[in-house]
Amino acid sequence: MYYIQKKLEISACHHLSLPYDSKCTALHGHNWIIYIYCKGEKLNKDGMLIDFIKIKELVSDKMDHRNLNEVFSFNPTAENIAKWIVDTVPKCYKARVIESENNEAVYEKTL
C-alpha cells in the first residue's frame, strides 16, 4: 500500500450559521493548516499515487484567499471542510483541518 500526505496552508475567511449566539457567526478569517492523506495499491503511469499539484489545484486553488461561504454550499465548519476534501480528492481517506492552534477537525472515510 502506498501512502502520501500533502500539507497546505490556506488563508480564508468564513462565518458560521449557528442556532445560538457565537462570535463565529460574524465574518472572520483563519490561516488554515490542512493535511490531506491519500492511499492506494497502485501508482499511475508516472509513478505517483496522485500528483501533489493536483491536490493543490483541487483544494488550495479553490479555498485560498476566498470567502468560504461563497465557495461552498454547506456551512463551512472545519468538520464539513474535512469531509469535502475526502470526497473531492481522489484516493483521499483522511483530512485534518486546523483552523487555529487549539481547534482542528479530522474526517476519515470508513471502509
pLDDT in tens, 5-20: 999 999 999 999 999 9
Residue ranges in the chain assigned as alpha helix (H)? 52-58, 60-63, 68-71, 78-88
Report d(CA 83, CA 105) in Å as an integer: 10
Averaged pLDDT for residues 57-69? 98
Domains of the chain from N-terminus onward: 2-108 (3.30.479.10)
Instruction: Quote the pLDDT of residue 98.
Output: 98
Give the pLDDT confidence of 64-92 residue by residue, as tens digits: 999 999 999 999 999 999 999 999 999 99
Distance from the Cα of residue 2 to its chain's centroid: 21
- In angstroms, the first-to-last Cα distance of the chain is 15
The predicted pLDDT at position 111 comes to 67
Mean pLDDT of the chain: 96
Spell out the SS3 assignment of 82-94. Answer: HHHHHHHCCCEEE
* pLDDT the model gives residue 110: 86
Q: What average pLDDT does range 18-43 have in this prediction?
A: 96
